[in-house]
Structure 1
Amino acid sequence: MRFLYNIIYTLLLTLLSAAGYAQVVEDSLRKIVSQPRLPLEQRIDAMDRLGQVVFFNKGWNEGLEVLRSSIALSAPMKDGRYRARTYGMMAASCFIAGESQAAYRYLDSAQFYIRRSNSGLIKGYVLYMKGWMESRDHKETDAIRTLQQALDVLEKEPEGLKYRQAVYSELAGVYFKWYDLMNVEKYTRLSLEAALRMNELEKKISATQERGGYFLNLYRTDESRKPALDSALFYMQHSLNLARNNRDRLVTPSNIPFSAIGIANIFLDHFPATAANKDSVDYYNNIALDESRKTRQFTVEAGVYNTLANIAMDRGDYNDAIAHLHNAIATSMKDPLFDKFNLSQSYLVLANAYELKRDTAMALFNYKQYMDLYRELFDVEKMNKAKDLEARYEMAHKERALLEVKLLAEQRNRELIQARYLSGIKDKQLLEAQYAAVVKDKALLNAKYASEVQQKALDSANFKTTQREQELKTIGERFAYNRKLNKIYAVLTVALLLAAAFLYYAFQQRSKALRQRQQLHNLELDRISQEHRMTVLSAMLEGQEQERTRLARDLHDGLGGLLSGVKIELSAIHQPATTTPQQAVVQKTMGHLDNAVEELRRIARSMMPEVLLNYGLGEAIREFCNGLKKSGVPVSCQVFNYRDDMSPSRQVTLYRIMQELVNNAVKHAAAKEILVQLQQRGNRIFLVVEDDGKGFDTAQLHALKGAGLANIQSRVEILQGTLEVESSPGTGSAFTIECAVN
């Protein structure tokens, strides 16, 4: 039981590190945090995750320092959710590091700041952290109450599943300690279902391992339940295979040693001691030992040494057993939250080993160590058992009171239903009596009225019979005539309405067709105009590039060769040994020729750089920026993931856009720093040019457009890309061009 509780204990520590894949995630998070334009909320979230990754993979102090930086970063935020979450992480981290007083101070801070926020998700997270610490501080009753409160809050949140899974796991750990298998089954099942719904690897691994622990304890209560043992072994092996097959994706792969030692103990304790089973024990013990050393899981490492010592004792190799036990004791002492029971058992077995070797002094020394730990552990266990009994009594008392309340309510409901039934019967009888009286009164009235009618009919029958027959005949003829006339009117009205509806529908359809035809015509004209304009722009820019290439070649081959020839002729008359004024003039003229040749080459490279044609856009941008930097321009260049798979014409167009933007920043922005960044993401190219210069109002962008910005916009349209401009007076400017590779 204690071994399984330790498994759940360390697994829950692992749940606090919900980051990504160790070093890869750390590097990614550091890159995210370093972004200058990252919103503050995203920066705080990235800092929190970075602190967790550093804490569990590099060092406790380094991780806590990152979290403190996150707290300072969130100070301006009015919503307290950010500081509450970070303080909750710091509380758990300090508790793991053995600093319980600091942990409770941070927890108080988290509870203070969550009252300044309406976030139910973070409130549930803070309650989960509180219950997590209460459980490890032997306050199981308070822990269950707090964790149930966390579930009540998180069940109302759409994104609360990730924290609910951790709460289920924590409740399973508490009930594991109480050996309440009914609740252990419930919460391990809910934890595994939530982990599978989230599809998060580490949560699936730990939840699967917890489920295996439940089936193992179920088997221990009744060893006739062989399927329970098979299920325990299945879930443990599935957890181990899932962790080992995805080890490079785990931030804290501590599930591997815990699953391995759990499987080794199942084979050792519950399977026959055959050669194959002994090999399985050795195989899984080696995995547990190797992985526990890598992940600093001291509890598992000490447990493996204790198991190896017991095996050595069984075969009579006391020296080997003593060596393993010393390793177990030294490993247990490294853990700030070491298990005193396992340590005491190590001392006891070590005392027995020395006694069997007839080393009485060492046996007595280790037995004293065992007794000191046992007395301390016995006092703690008595106190914990008393708390468990008190908690169970309190829960039973509450359940009994609840049952009494439910029974009383059910009795009252039954009495109320019976009273309502009797009242309904009385009301029905009264209504039936009233209805019978009304029926009698109506019958009397009808009889009286019929008698009066008959009397009047008899009085006037002799005088009006002929007259009524004539009137009835006239009325019948008139009614038949009116009925025919009404039918004719109705038919004509319906026909007129149908005709009007048909005409209106035809008119609407014709109008709609004309509008659609006109719209299609306008769209076609716009498309033709756009294609014509793009063709003209493309031809113009292509002609410019061809002219640049021709001029660069003519300058380099023609004028460059001429200047070089002049220099060679002057060199023939230059005599370094003489110092006449004429020689000085010649020497000075040759220096000017060198400068002219260098300037000519620079102009030729600027008009059509050879590195762009030979090595691609990335190297051309780097060379352009390096040339400017050598001339004193404060420009820096970054190229990420560029694969050089653009067509040459598109590379030249993008290079001209970069040249124009940098030249504008140098000429007009008075910038102290210019950044040029080229990045490729899949089939998309991103070119960013930023400066910290004077900036301008983007609302006046169209009014400010000169030939340079117009050329840039034209080239972006040729690339079928987009241009985004971010600037304001005094804050610099940022131009972002996005286009497809081809």
Structure 2
Amino acid sequence: LKMWEATKDYENSPTKRFVLYILVDHFSQLDAPLEVAKFTEILAELYEDAHPNTPAGHMPIKNIFENRADPVNIPRLKEAIAISDSLNSVNSMAYNTIALAKTYDKMNRSDLALPYLQRAIDSLKKTSKPQVLFDLYKSNIRSSLAINDFKTAYNSKNAESILRDSVTSERMQRNIAELEVKFDTEKKERKILEQNLTIEQETRQKNQILMGTIGLGLILFLTFIFFRKRLLDQRTIAEQRDAIQQQEITELQQKNKLLALNSMIEGQEAERLRIAKDLHDSLGGLLSTVKAHFSTIQREIEQLEKLNITEKTNNLIDEACIEVRRISHNMMPHALSISGLKGALEDVAENLKEQGYEVSLEISNLPEDLESTKEVMIYRLIQEIISNIRKHADAKTILIQLLGYKDEINLIVEDDGKGFDYDRAIDNGGLGLKSINSRVEFLDGKIHWDSQFNQGTTITINLPSS
């Protein structure tokens, strides 16, 4: 009963019918005819509703009652028939009657079954239960034939045939009605589908026209953008071409200027070389001859020695020779032409040490194929920086680093002098600073000045090696 309470509110489903089948079987075994009649009627209605075209003799509930066809159960079957009749449970009454008839047939007392069968048939005729009525007719035919009551058997068979024809006709009419309904429904659905197709075609045509219009507009817009961009590109190309031409003109002018400047520098260097040779060969030799003659005179005229004039004159001549060598060396150092830039810078470092400076010189990885003109320019640049330090820095220590790295030459010159304000020095027209900057610019290099008062100055220069 708890199972029924849990499922009685369900819709007509296999689960609900299965629960009712279990209850009918359960109460049948417990010999509870009242509950059997109640639940049999409910189950039969649900099954007929779910399977209206089930052939006669195929109701599953029938098996429960057939299992009770035993002489021992005759009193229970009669009681169940009476209770079912009083409750108007035609299904329970019919199946209990069929079970009772089978019991009498087994006992060869089919004559006792016929009254019960006829009463059940009369009750079922008043209802619309053709499937159950078919089972009763079959049972009545079987029992009649068992006692050779052919007339009753014939009448029952004839009634069964009439009922079957009626049911078949009714089913055909129902099927025809269902087919007509399906046909009308399909016809309406087809009409609706045709209308939908017409609407869809019209919508598709409208969409195609709309998409065509949009596509045409897009093509026109893209065409406009294309030609506009083309005009802008042509204008940009023309401007770029003009800019390139102007840049080429500027570069050509710069090259001409550099060529002229290079020619001028080469001329200056050649002139310096000529002057240095003249000083060294002419004036230097002449002074040496004068000194030699003067030494001869000094030995011969001892009296002049007493006047101390000879010694002073000798010192002046020595100073003149040293100065000539210094000027000649500065204008064209002998080491630069013999041992290159490295040897010339080592001479510069030695001279600075002789003048009392602490000098640190580092030279590393210089390109072997460095042009002689560039070597001279780097040497002059370092000369200019050293000259500035000697004139203005009051320094005691000088660091010179010349390093080759990849495609560059890095030059660093540091001193521990008093430092200066670079911007103010430039504004005041510092010729030495401008000359250094000009030389770096001529060599296509970059220069950075870092100077602080009483903390010295650091000059960093990056030059291309080629």
TM-score w.r.t. length of structure 1: 0.32
Larger radius of gyration: 2
- The higher relative CO (CA closer than 8 Å, separation ≥ 6) is in 2
> Hey, which of these two has a bigger chunk of helix by percent?
1
